[in-house]
Amino acid sequence: MTSVSLSTSAANALRADAVVVAVAKGPKGLVLAPGAETVDEAFDGKLAAVLTTLGATGAEGDSVKLPAPAGVKASLILAVGLGDATEGDAFDAEALRRAAGTAARALHGSKKAAFALPLADAAAVEAVALGALLGAYTFTAFRSEAALAGGKDPLAEIALVGAKRGDKANKAAVDRATVVAEEMNRTRDLINTPPNDLFPKSFADIVTTVGKEHGLKVEVLDEKALTKGGFGGIMGVGIGSARPPRLVKVAYTHPKAKQTLAFIGKGITYDSGGISLKPAGHNETMKCDMSGAAAVFAAVVAAARLGLQVNVTGWLALAENMPSGSATRPGDVLKMYGGKTVEVLNTDAEGRLVLADAIVRAGEEKPDAIVDVATLTGAMMMALGSRTFGIMANQDDFRDKVFAAATAAGEQSWPMPLPAELRKGMESPTADIANMGDRMGGGLVAGLFLQEFVAEGISWAHLDIAGPAFHEGAPYGYIPKGGTGSAVRTLVQLAEEASAGAL
């Protein structure tokens, strides 16, 4: 695993394989960012000119390698782009995270690197540490030994140079970034694990094991307990699979907690669509349909590792959505936890069914707020693209708070409405509600469905991460191919705000 530390050495004097410097796009071409001074001296002050000759412009995503001159201990210089130069020394946190991530990816296979990036304050230290640790992520658990031996290891050691080492705020920034990055990487691992390895029981077993390591209380309801307890939504979705469903409760408590949060995650370990089977072309990445549950689990672990003064309960609604002779049929009516009935018109609208049970169950414990996270609808991807998640809520001010938390945490999101007129489309001639409504605004329809199950008086928000949970394109910045860890930072931010009593 990759580690980050603060170093007091000068960039040129550190024993490392590579030194990373940053460049930016100035009005008259490429400029060096603060941190690059000692390296530039070794180039006789010509580093910017050399990099320009090599085609670098300072644009975001720029990544140029060149041999180090005499006067630099490392053998390689890597220059990464920050985008537009800013007034003064402060760069946007996201630009720093992306540049650090690009650098860590470019140095895959190296052992140790000095990151001589602009570290103006603790926020910059945290951004660089986080971006680097996320960028270094790889997923090799399912490569054969032979392929592994021929492959390379991620960058192992990252020394941040130019930031004060004794500074408490800088040290805390590295510690926080390490926890958040490791928990995002845990989320990514869970998402990337193929569905023949990660299914409801194996996921629950992981939560039990990891939960124990971090002093969390874990309770698992198996199919017998779910049936007995009346969890008709989770059972209805999981009943077609040879791998039965689970509802996992994973709780972190702090004796001085002022507020209690419930996080709920959609944990469909594979979404085939069920009897309303998805066509080829739509099911290849559906191992990602447990991204919400993975994010929730990781956020609870992060809250524990950070020792936040808050109670956080994670509810993971785990099921595999499969077609079979025992599967729920379109037309079936399910009796949900709490007694509401749902006519299942499309078995591919399964996420809302497992979430509804969990929302009612979580509400029984009267938390101050419920936040659910789900790869819920293709419609949300249509609306917001693949890098932005949608936020819906039962109170505008709570939705604004969640949006502000996501933004502060560095996650791209957007507030979405829950227009009351869309409820009509879900009217069922047979049951209390149908699991499908108008096709237009399908992401909002799903949100309205969930809202029906939220107990009176509890603030609730719904994050539809169908777009950003799983990245199919080329890696960029600190985002790899596959699971991204979307929503983890937002949940941790919310837990932090609640620990200050500010939610």
* Site mask for ligand BES (CB under 6 A), range 248-287, x = bound: -----------------------x----------------
User: Which one, of 289, 247, 274, 271, lies nearest residue 332 by Cα?
Assistant: 274
Contact 113, 103 (CB under 8 A): yes
Contact 75, 67 (CB under 8 A): yes
Instruction: Tell me the C-alpha distance between 173 and 50, whole Å.
Output: 33
Closer to ligand BES by Cβ: residue 349 or 418: 349
**Helix (H), strand (E) at residue 31:** strand 29-32
Tell me which residues in 48-67 interact with Zn ion (CB under 5 A).
Answer: none
Instruction: Tell me the C-alpha distance between 287 and 415, whole Å.
Output: 27
**Which of 379, 431, 479, 494 forms a contact with ligand BES (CB under 6 A)?**
379
Active-site residue, from 112, 164, 171, 278? 278
464 near ligand BES (CB under 6 A): no
Tell me which residues in 22-51 interact with ligand BES (CB under 6 A).
Answer: none
* Site mask for Zn ion (CB under 5 A), range 375-404, x = bound: ------------------------------
Nearest residue to Mn ion, scored by beta-carbon proximity: 348
* DSSP one-letter code for 385: -
Q: Is 19 helix (H, G, I), strand (E, B) or coil?
A: strand
**Which of 60, 189, 348, 496 forms a contact with ligand BES (CB under 6 A)?**
348
**Helix (H), strand (E) at residue 494:** helix 488-499
182 near Mn ion (CB under 5 A): no
Cβ 442 to ligand BES shortest distance, Å: 6
466 near ligand BES (CB under 6 A): yes
Cβ 33 to ligand BES shortest distance, Å: 37
Closer to Mn ion by Cβ: residue 344 or 498: 344
Tell me which residues in 351-380 interact with Zn ion (CB under 5 A).
Answer: 351
**Which of 323, 378, 425, 475 forms a contact with ligand BES (CB under 6 A)?**
378
Cβ 271 to ligand BES shortest distance, Å: 5
User: Any idea what the Cα angle at residue 224 is, between residues 223 and 227, rounded to 5°?
Assistant: 80
346 near ligand BES (CB under 6 A): yes
Strands 112-116 and 217-221: unpaired
Q: Is 149 helix (H, G, I), strand (E, B) or coil?
A: helix
Instruction: Tell me the C-alpha distance between 408 and 493, whole Å.
Output: 8
User: Which one, of 491, 483, 400, lies nearest residue 186 by Cα?
Assistant: 483
Neighbours of 46 (CB within 10 A): 13
CA distances to 9, 193, 269, 288, 318 from 187, in Å: 34, 10, 13, 11, 15
461, amino acid identity: A
The tokens describing 60, both together, are 């975001």
Partners of residue 4 on adjacent β-strands: 158
Cβ 276 to Mn ion shortest distance, Å: 8
Residues in binding contact with ligand BES, number by CB under 6 A: 15
**Which of 179, 349, 461, 492 forms a contact with ligand BES (CB under 6 A)?**
349
320 near Mn ion (CB under 5 A): no
The answer to whether 246 is a known catalytic residue is: no
**Which of 348, 357, 411, 497 forms a contact with Mn ion (CB under 5 A)?**
348
351 near ligand BES (CB under 6 A): yes
Active-site residue, from 97, 340, 352, 489? 352
377 near ligand BES (CB under 6 A): yes
**Which of 442, 477, 482, 485 forms a contact with ligand BES (CB under 6 A)?**
442
User: Which one, of 257, 248, 182, 175, lies nearest residue 211 by Cα?
Assistant: 248
CA distances to 32, 383, 384, 391, 445 from 416, in Å: 40, 10, 10, 6, 11
Instruction: Tell me the C-alpha distance between 462 and 296, whole Å.
Output: 13
Q: Which stretch binds Mn ion (CB under 5 A): 80-88, 177-185, 343-351, 473-481?
A: 343-351
Runs of H (alpha helix) within 78-167: 93-106, 122-135, 145-150
The answer to whether 352 is a known catalytic residue is: yes
The tokens describing 238, both together, are 């999981």
Q: Which stretch binds Zn ion (CB under 5 A): 13-21, 59-67, 249-257, 261-269?
A: 261-269
* Site mask for Zn ion (CB under 5 A), range 280-319, x = bound: ---------x------------------------------
Q: Which stretch binds Zn ion (CB under 5 A): 56-64, 73-81, 347-355, 399-407?
A: 347-355
Nearest residue to Zn ion, scored by beta-carbon proximity: 271
Strands 260-271 and 311-321: parallel
Cβ 487 to ligand BES shortest distance, Å: 13
The tokens describing 141, both together, are 């658990």
Instruction: Tell me the C-alpha distance between 97 and 126, whole Å.
Output: 9
Closer to ligand BES by Cβ: residue 105 or 287: 287
**Residue ranges that bind Zn ion, judged by CB under 5 A:** 268, 271, 289, 351
Catalytic residue positions, numbered: 278, 352
- Positions in the binding site for Mn ion (CB under 5 A): 271, 348, 350
**Which residues form the interface with ligand BES (CB under 6 A)?**
271, 289, 346, 348-351, 375-379, 436, 442, 466
